[in-house]
Structure formats: structure tokens, C-alpha cells
A and B are shown apart, each in its own frame.
Chain A
Amino acid sequence: MHLVKFHRNLPKFKFWTKRRYSHALLTDENEYTEAPEYPPILDMSLQGRKLRERQIVHEKIQKLNTVEEKQIALNMPRYYGWKCVMLNEDKIPYNALPLVKCYTRTHFIPSSSLPDVYSETASLADLVVKQTKSLIEDIIILESEAVKHNYVAEQEKPEEQQKEDMITKNIVKQINRIICNKLSDKASHILSSQADYEPRHEAFWFVGGLDVPHTVRNQRKKHKWLRDQLEEPIDRPVQYIGTPLLTLRSNLPLKPLLPYVEATNPDFKVPKFSFVPESVGYHTQHRHGTNIPGFWTGDCDEFGLLSYHGRGHISVRNPSFGLEDNVEALHSQALKASFGWLLGQANYQGFTTYNDITYPLVTQTIITNGKLWSFYVYQMNTIAMHNEQMDENPKHNICFGTKPLQLYDTIENGQVKGFNEEVLKMLVQLYLNAPEERDHEMKPFLGKEEQIIADIEDDEKRRWLESRYKHLVSNRPKHYLMPEIYLWERIYKIKHNTRFFEAKRRFFERDINPFKRRLDEHLPPYIPKVLRPYPRCRKKFENTYYPKV
């Protein structure tokens, strides 16, 4: 009955509604094309949809204006931080090189001298070596024997290692001082460059295509729709932390060693190392990913020239690892340090692990203990190696490196014996490698007006982002502890269901994964009533400016 009535009234409703399905005639004459244009065929499988979701996020990160917002965006999916594979500069397990090569996507070329690019400055370097040789001999004698330094050993590291690094640090400071003073009138880039002592270098990136740890496989087994993808490779977040003894940086980047097209050369292919990193001596830690090349954004000297690293950790390595492995350990230290520093610099240019660099970056790394010197020159061509890119990205990074070379043989009666001028010459040549202005855009993924948060006009937003960014990268402990399954719970609640009568309140009883919590899933700071704007304001919480990704 009601239905009939409704039907009778239907024409009346017609006046209320708009006829959305009719519209003005298309002005465009070219509606019809010669060949049919179909919309792209999308992969509607679960993996296909997930892939598209991820790609959208990557594009959103690329479109963000400032460096710091991009860094916060990388950390948005995890409130408690990523479970990172930790790569430390001075903790190197046995047979470390294959993993480091794969994770930094680097083709390592062992050589006995520097690449050909350096031959231009050979004659000048010879001259400088002649003039500074005696001074450097004096330094070695003075720092090794004649000066009493005040030094306090820390608890964390072996004393032998610290002692060696301390002497190295002093020698390196002096040698850097002599060479810089000598070259400052010959090379203008040395005068304007900045030297940092023990800066903080950190880098964060994703490595894809790795084997699945058993925990992840067990998780996948629980879901019906994931059972056919048990062995699908996964992304692992990787965090590098290092402290060089001394670095030099300048406002211009170094020239590339090889042309950028060489990056896709299949000769430089890097073998894959897909074993679970925990099984070869690395550990994981929950922390926010940080990319820091030794300074905060806004400093004008953004590009590294060279960095000195200590090798005190070699002296405390297990002797059963052998000499050959020690050399490999040095190579892997150099690869990590060079890639880590360059990645930090690349992040300050607006690139992230999801948005690959568009031009190569170069750095020079020296590992030394005052007597033994190894030189490395590293060209970074790519930083994209997450799951989709690991197998498809044709680009590779390239590193040239020497074995440890002796600067001198011994010190006898206050005299340096067997001083090797070639080593000093190589060192001077690294200093003489002048940076150059590039003729392409350096920061294509940053905004035109706003490139760092100090450029933001809005006072409140700028303040908030600055403090949030610094808080994030400090990785200070959270106010509340991380959620945890206590042992008694694992026994009496999970393994054996002995407390079925209790209310189910804990996260594991309610199928909540607390580590999937996003960074912005928290209450913003409360505004007390007295502080709210006059006359009436219902806004209870302060604004947050998390990037929307």
C-alpha cells in the first residue's frame, strides 16, 4: 500500500533532484580517436594493490617541500620506530664484505693507486709532498712519543682500541692541519671548507629482496590470503651509525669519477646477499630512522670532501678471523662509511630511499692508524634498493679502494725510518681534488621557496616541525615503555590457555599489533581552558603538522 503511494508521489520528487547524468555538450571535438585508448590495465591482485598503495606513498614523500618533513614522513608508519638492522662503523663481524656490498649496492674495485682522474694533480702533489715531508715526520715522532696527552678511557669500548684511536686522532688532526695550511693559498676550496672533529654520521635506508625471518613467516601462516606468499622477500630497514675522526666539507660537490651512464654498466653488478642479517652477526634495534651527515640543515657546506676513520677496532678483533678478513673488514668499513655519509648528504638534497638521486655524488674516505693508510674513493649513483627496486634498478654504486699502505716502517731513536712518499702523495691528491659547480638542478624534489623548515613562513608550524624533528632524530626513550609480552603471559596466556576467565584487555588478546601504530596516533598536547583564546574556544588540543603521507 505504502509503495503505491510512494509511486504516485514520485513525479513531485523529480523537481527536487538534479539530473546529474546530463551535462553540457562536450566542447572538445576530439572525443573520438583513431585508435581506441583504453585505461591502463591494473593488477587487481593483493600484491598489485599493495604495490600501488606504496607507490602512492612514495610519490607523496617526493612532493613534500622540506627536507625535515621528508624525514618525518619516512618514519610515519611506525610509532615505536623501525626494527632496524644496525650497521656500526667499528663493529664488524666475520666475512662482512658480501653483506655490506649488497646492502650498499656497491661494486668494489680493489686497486693499488687512485683512479685516473687524480693524475692531473700529480705534479702539484709531488711539490707539496717535498715541502711537507719533514714536517709530517716530525708530527709522527711527536705524537707517538714526545707528547703526553690527557685521555680518559670509556667503559664501553676495549682500552686498546681507544688508545689507538686517540693517537690516530691526534696524528690525523696534525696532518690535516699541515696539509690545509700548505694548500690554502694553492687551492681555494680548502680555504672555504669546514673541518669537523668527530661529527655525527647517521644514515637510514631500506634494503629489499631479503629472505624472510621465521617470525614473519609464522605471521603470514596465520592468514589464509598470505599462505601462498610465505617466501615473498621483504624490505629491511637499515641504520648506519658512525663517527669519523675528522671530515672536510664544502659548499660544492666533487666531480664524478665516472660518467653517470656508467652506473648502469652490467659489469658493476653486485651479487645479492639475501640471508637473514641476524644469522651473520648483526643485531636489530627499534629506532626512528635518521639521516644526518654531521650538521643540521641550513649549513651551507653541504657536500663532503673527505673523511678520516680510525681502525682501532681491527686490533681487538678475534685473531682467528685472519689477516685477509681484517683487510675485508676495512673495505666494508669504508663502504659503510662512504655510503652512509653520502646518503645523509643526498637526503639533505631532498632525495630519500624511495626517491632515487638524479645525479652522482662522490666522497673520499681514509682509514688509518697513523702508520697504515687505506684510501677509498666512492661514487654514489643510486640509493633506491627497496623491495620493488632491488632487482629492477640497473644502477650500482662504485668504490675504488687500496689495501692498507705503510706510511713509514719504524720509529728508531726519534727518527722515522722508511718514509713512503707515495702514500703521502695520495693523501695530498685527495685534498687537491677540487669540487665543482654542477650544471643541473641539485634539489629537484624540494620546494622552490621552502627547502628546509627554517624557510617556512608560518611561525607555529615552523616551531612545531623543528622541535618534532629534533625529538625524532634524538631517539630519546619514550615516556611510556614499549609494549611487551611478559614471560608469564606467554606461558599462562598464549602457550597454555589457563586464564580463559579473565577479561581480555592486553593487545595480543585483542589481535592488535602495537608496532603497527603510526607516528601521529597520539593525543596532541592539551590546551588548558585558561589558555584558550578569548571569548569562547572549543579547541581543546594543539595543532600538529605531521606530513600527510
Chain B
Amino acid sequence: MKLSQILNRQHIDFMFKKHWAVQGKRFPIDTGLEHLLKEKGIPVEDALEFVKVHERKPLSKERINIVGAYETPLPLDENNPDYKSRPCLTLTNTNVLLEGISQAQVLTKTVIAEDKLPNKIEELAEISIPKLVHEGVKKAILSANVFDCEQKKLPKVKDPARPAYNFPRILGISDRRRNEIITNKLLQLVEKSSDFELSQTRYVLNDVECKTVFDKEDDLIQFQDMSHILVTSNKPLTHELPERDIPFVKIPDLYPVKYSVTLPPQHFYDEKSIYPIQPSITNKHPHTTWLHFNRTEVSNIYETPVTDAQIHGRSLTHAFTVATAYAKQLHGEEVQDLPEPIYVNCIQTDGQKYHFGVFELNTLNVDGVEGTKNVWYCKNDVKLYDRSCYFNGMPVLENYNPKVFGYINAFYHC
């Protein structure tokens, strides 16, 4: 260093060095207090000695019972008084069966008539619907997929070729809201375009829960399901049986899989079935139940994507849940074979694809594969449209299929 170099007076490094030097060796400042106290004859004790005395005898700590904002709930384990040793295998509406429709068949003891709906529905579906109503359906599709203003985070976008790449999160309409809008608007259109005499005998409920608990062989099983829309009527739904020679799909043998696979056991449950409407109400009979398939909410318990067969199975278990819950309210918990069959219509949708079904509940005894069986008429995978979204900044609706609305209308009117 040159001797002649002028140092910058406010050198930040020097400031830090000096600061460290000061902070590095601290020593107590003599306040002169000790001297003063001694003069007045007051004994002075060394602080370190004082601390040591207290260290020798630790104070016994009493446990304080802290009263929180709410009572802490008991842990959900074997010691809980509500714990039941017999596990109940539970299927909820956010879970699907591993084997899909065939497992659902075994669980509910049902035979299937594929692509076959009762004649009355097929006839009603052929009735031509005014153009104005179809325009309304198109408006409903667009308002659910394009024009609704919800801006929520959608699921992460993944590119299978480079799975670690993070794309920007897209904000848009969540599938729950999309389905709510489209199903409600379709039903509103059906009701508005039908007679008031008919629509006053129906009742429309949103988001109601049905629960059914039953024994199958040695297992206790419960289905907890939610009807996103439940249309009820003032008299029980009946269907005329279609011709006898239907090629029914028989109940399959699932071996090596057991029927209870992917039904997680629960030890906290209530053995009473729940039907959401009280028996004193006149409009209590279930007519059509709408089930949404929200891809972000429904999943396998193992992280594999949900397959079509599983979605079809969901329709069946859902219709079974509503029908049995209603049957148990009607005939009591222990009813087995029903004196008269109970029918429930079911429509499942993810907004684009529609799965129609009619469930005929004949028995609640689901043991084995022999004896009386339940019947499931279904027509799956009907598309309402091919594409409906913003494309290049323009709203798009491609290939609208008017048949779907015909079926929805028929389901309401039957």
C-alpha cells in the first residue's frame, strides 16, 4: 500500500471491523454501584453464585390445564368410546372401485342391460324439442365452459415428455362449478319448457347426502354418496318392463380380486342409513339423481387415473345408494326382498359426456349371485358437444348433439 494513499473516511469494511472488535470482547461496565453499596454496609452477592444456588433445587413444575378456544377432540384410536371393532368398508363419492362396473355388479348383485333404456324413455327421447330450447342449451353449455367468471387455480399442467417442467398455473372455471352450472341450467330449461302441472309435482334438491349400510357375506359395507341434484316426485317412479329377451350382462367372477378391494375399512361409523328427506313429506320419492364427475375430486386410492369402467361403476353404486336408502326408510332397516321394485333414474356427467341409467332395486340381499337380482339399464358415453372453450380468444362450441337433451327431457318426463 502506498503511504500516500488517502483512505476513504467512511469505509464500510472498516466500520464492520471496528464493530466486530467492539462486539467481540464485551466486558461489564463498572457502574460504581458495588462501591456505593459497600459504603452503606449492604452485603453484595456475586450474581453467578446466586444463580448456582437456584440451580441446585429445581422448582417442581405443575402442569397447567390450558383452556383453549374449544375442547380438544379425543384421538380417533381404539380407546375412543365411539370406536367399533368390526370395520365398515366405506365407499364415498370421492373414491372409485378398482374393478369398476364389474365390481359394482358384484357388490350390488346387479345384472346389466347395456345400451338399453326402458321403452318409455326411448319413446320420450324421440319427441322433437323446439329450436328455442336448443338455443338455450347451447347458451348453457357456453356459459358453463366459457362465459362464467370464476378464476380459480386449475390442476397443474404436466408434459409427459418432461415431467419436471413447471408450466404457469392456469386460472379458470373449476370442474365442480362447471358441472354445477351446466346441470342446473339444463334442468331449469327442461322444467321451464314443460307443463306447470308436471313440474309442480317434482322437487329439486341440490347437494344432498344419501347413506346406506348393508351386510355382504361377512363384511359390513357402507356407501356414502352425494346427489348433486336430486329430483323427487310426489309418487314413486315406475317403469314398464321392457321385453323379456334382453341379453343381460351376468354378475362376473372377480377372482383373484375380492369384491371389497379398495374399500378402506373404517372403525367410526353409524349403522343407520340416511335418506335426506323426512318421510312425512309428499314429494319424497326419488325420481332422478344427478351425479357429477369432478376429475379433480374423484380418484383411485392408488394414484392411477380413473378409467371409463370405474366411472360407469360409479353411476351404478350411486343409484344403488339412493334406492336402498329410500327403501330402508320405506320398509325399515332389515328389509330384504322388496314387495315392489323401486326405480331410480341416474344421470352422471362430467359436463361433456353423459351416462344415463335406470336402476331397478328388487332386493337388498346382496349375498352371492343366486336368487333375486337388481337390474341396471344404461346408456353410457353420450357426448353433448365435442369442444367448448376459448380458442384463440374466441368462444367456441363444436358439434352440439341435440340427442342428449332429448334424453334428459325424457328422464324428467317419465
Contact = CB atoms under 8 A, between A and B. Distances in A.
Interface of A: 135, 138, 142, 145-151, 170, 173-174, 177-178, 180-182, 184-185, 190-192, 194-197, 199-200, 292, 294-296, 298-301, 414, 453-454, 456, 459, 462-463, 465-467, 470, 473-474, 476, 500-502
B369 interface: no
B204 A177 contact: yes
A240 B191 CA distance: 34
Contacts of A185: 196
Contacts of B143: 194, 196, 295, 299
B146 interface: yes
A465 B148 contact: no
B127 interface: no
B171 A470 contact: yes
Nearest to A146: B278
A180 B200 contact: no
Given A138-B282, A148-B277, 4 more contacts: A151-B207, A296-B148, A299-B143, A459-B392
Contacts of A467: 393
Contacts of A454: 393-395
A194 B390 CA distance: 21
Contacts of B199: 181
B301 to A, nearest CB: 22
A456 B393 CA distance: 9
B193 A191 contact: yes
Interface string B132-164: 100010011011001111110000000000000
Contacts of B194: 181
Contacts, number: 125
Contact of B150 (A174, A195, A200, A462): A200
A146 B277 contact: yes
Among B15, B143, B209, B280, chain A packs the most CB atoms within 10 A around the CB of B143
A84 to B, nearest CB: 18
A292 B193 contact: no
B10 interface: yes
A149 B180 contact: no
A180 B278 contact: no
Nearest to B188: A195
B101 to A, nearest CB: 26
Among A147, A295, A466, A501, chain B packs the most CB atoms within 10 A around the CB of A147
B276 interface: yes
Contacts of A182: 196
Interface in B4-22: 10-12, 15
A186 B169 CA distance: 47
Contacts of A300: 139
A414 B279 CA distance: 13
B226 interface: yes
B143 to A, nearest CB: 6
Contact of B171 (A301, A466, A474): A474
Contacts of B393: 453-454, 456, 462-463, 465-467
B208 A147 contact: yes
A243 to B, nearest CB: 11
Contacts of B200: 135, 178, 181
A150 B209 contact: yes
Interface size class of B (residues with CB under 8 A): 35 or more
A443 to B, nearest CB: 18
A170 B132 contact: no
The 10 A-B pairs of least Cβ separation, nearest first, read: A501-B10, A466-B393, A462-B393, A200-B149, A184-B192, A146-B278, A474-B151, A299-B147, A150-B209, A295-B147
A255 B394 CA distance: 32
Contacts of B185: 194-195
A182 to B, nearest CB: 5
17 contacts: A142-B277, A142-B281, A142-B283, A147-B276, A170-B205, A170-B206, A174-B203, A180-B191, A191-B192, A195-B185, A199-B148, A200-B149, A295-B143, A463-B392, A466-B390, A467-B393, A476-B171
A326 B184 CA distance: 34
B121 interface: no
Given A150-B208, A182-B196, A476-B171, A192 B132 contact: yes
A470 B151 contact: yes
Contact of B149 (A180, A294, A459): A294
Contacts of B106: none
Given A146-B277, A180-B188, A459-B392, A191 B207 contact: no
B181 interface: yes
Nearest to A170: B206
Contacts of B139: 194, 299-301
A191 B199 CA distance: 15
Among A170, A174, A177, A453, chain B packs the most CB atoms within 10 A around the CB of A177
A462 B396 CA distance: 14
A497 to B, nearest CB: 12
Contacts of A149: 205-208, 276
A288 to B, nearest CB: 12
Contacts of A135: 200
B378 interface: no
B277 to A, nearest CB: 6
A298 to B, nearest CB: 5
A181 B192 contact: yes
A192 B196 CA distance: 17
A135 B394 CA distance: 43
B147 A147 contact: no
Given A181-B200, A192-B136, A295-B143, A502 B12 contact: yes
B147 A298 contact: yes
A454 B282 CA distance: 50
B98 interface: no
Interface in B21-56: none
B350 to A, nearest CB: 19
Nearest to B395: A298
A142 B150 contact: no
B274 interface: yes
Interface in B377-396: 390, 392-395
A147 B277 contact: yes
A135 B282 CA distance: 12
A403 B107 CA distance: 57
Contacts of A301: 139
Contacts of B15: 501
B146 A296 contact: yes
Given A177-B204, A180-B192, A501-B10, A299 B280 contact: no
A414 B132 CA distance: 40
Given A192-B136, A195-B185, A296 B208 contact: no
B149 A296 contact: yes
A462 B392 CA distance: 7
A148 B149 contact: no
Contacts of B196: 181-182, 185
Contacts of A294: 149
Nearest to A134: B200
A522 to B, nearest CB: 16
Contacts of B191: 177, 180-181
Contacts of B180: 197
A152 to B, nearest CB: 10
A143 to B, nearest CB: 9
Contacts of B188: 177, 180, 195
Interface string B180-218: 110011001001111010011001111111000000000
Nearest to A178: B200
Contacts of B392: 459, 462-463
Interface in B348-405: 390, 392-395
B206 A191 contact: no
Contacts of B147: 295-296, 298-299
A148 B274 CA distance: 9
A190 B149 CA distance: 23
B234 to A, nearest CB: 10
Contacts of A181: 191-192, 194, 196, 199-200
A191 B190 CA distance: 11
Given A177-B204, A454-B393, A470-B171, A501 B281 contact: no
